[in-house]
């Protein structure tokens, strides 16, 4: 038999956890500001191409004489970190399994990961969040920029089904554009849905595999960094 808790019962534990998370995020922000580090929180469902985009992005950032670092979030394994390590940017793995398998990186994990980086040698920090279109949107980590990635094969309905993620982000990167002809996705409808959810959402379209649109992404990212300085 289902039982429901009366709505007038306060749950201070939830409030305390959120307050503690935000406090840690602000501490992260202060530390990043101190070292003039531009931090980017990459979020998406699993398989949208976050790691692949970083594989293509890091060398292009390095070519601009900017230094990158990565905090790689997953519930378990170091598979993505192993893919990114050859790029020459320091990578810190942040697994949530020891903390109950959280579906997002918490500010406390970012705080712990920053201690393993030489922040004097970092210009741009990428935080690859755990693959999920729900939980990561709810937690500020201290980042400058929040980006949601959505592959076109996921369909045009995702902004409507997971609105918080798209409301909370500064930009949406539509990935795997090379697969659009085979996806059945109405790209015009997808663009409308994105803007209906968040009229200020910047939208970029690219294929990391073919590298179409990659240059526009790098230019946009560097413009955002310059504007934050």
Give the CATH number for residue 36.
Answer: 3.40.50.300
Per the structure, the complete domain to which residue 108 belongs is given by 16-228
Question: Does the residue 9 lie in any domain?
Answer: no
Per the structure block, which two tokens stand in for 33? 């500001």
End-to-end CA distance of the chain: 57
Q: Is residue 107 part of a domain?
A: yes
Please tell me whether residue 146 adopts helix, strand or coil conformation. strand
Predicted local distance difference test score (pLDDT) of residue 17:
61
pLDDT of residue 193: 98
The pLDDT score that the predictor gives to residue 98 is: 64
- Would you call 72 helix, strand, or coil by DSSP? strand
What is the count of structural domains for the chain?
1
Residue 223: per-residue pLDDT:
98
Regions of the chain with pLDDT less than 70: 1-17, 98-101
Q: In the prediction, which pLDDT does 211 show?
A: 97
Let me know if residue 4 belongs to a domain: no
Asked if the structure places residue 10 within a domain, the reply is no
**Backbone phi, psi, residue 91, to 5°:** -125, 130
Q: Residue 12 has what pLDDT?
A: 47
Instruction: Give strand pairing partners of 89.
Output: none
| Residue 185 token pair | 């996705």
| Residue 8 domain-assigned (yes or no) | no
pLDDT at 229: 85
Task: Please tell me the predicted confidence (pLDDT) of residue 18.
Answer: 73
Does a structural domain hold residue 108? Answer: yes
**Domain-located, residue 2:** no
Residue 104 counted as domain residue: yes
| pLDDT value, residue 16 | 57
């Amino acid at each position: 038999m289902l039982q429901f808790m009366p709505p007038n019962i306060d749950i201070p534990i939830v409030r305390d956890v959120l307050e503690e998370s935000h406090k840690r995020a602000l501490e992260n922000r202060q530390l990043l500001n101190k070292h003039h580090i531009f931090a980017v929180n990459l979020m998406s469902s699993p398989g949208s191409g976050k790691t692949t985009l970083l594989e293509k992005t890091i060398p292009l950032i390095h070519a601009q004489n900017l230094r990158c670092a990565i905090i790689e979030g997953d519930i378990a394994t170091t598979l993505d970190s192993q893919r990114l390590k050859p790029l020459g940017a320091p990578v810190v793995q942040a697994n949530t399994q020891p903390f109950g398998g959280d579906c997002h990186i918490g500010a406390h994990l970012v705080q712990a990961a920053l201690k393993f980086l030489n922040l004097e040698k970092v210009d741009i920090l990428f935080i690859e969040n755990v693959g999920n279109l729900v939980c990561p949107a709810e937690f500020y980590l201290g980042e400058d920029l929040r980006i949601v990635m959505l592959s076109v094969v996921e369909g045009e309905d995702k902004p409507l089904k997971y609105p918080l993620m798209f409301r909370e982000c500064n930009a949406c990167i539509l990935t795997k554009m090379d697969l659009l002809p085979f996806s059945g996705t109405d790209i015009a409808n997808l663009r409308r849905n994105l803007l209906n959810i968040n009229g200020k959402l910047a939208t970029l379209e690219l294929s990391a595999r073919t590298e179409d649109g990659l240059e526009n992404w790098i230019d946009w990212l560097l413009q955002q960094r310059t504007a934050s300085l």
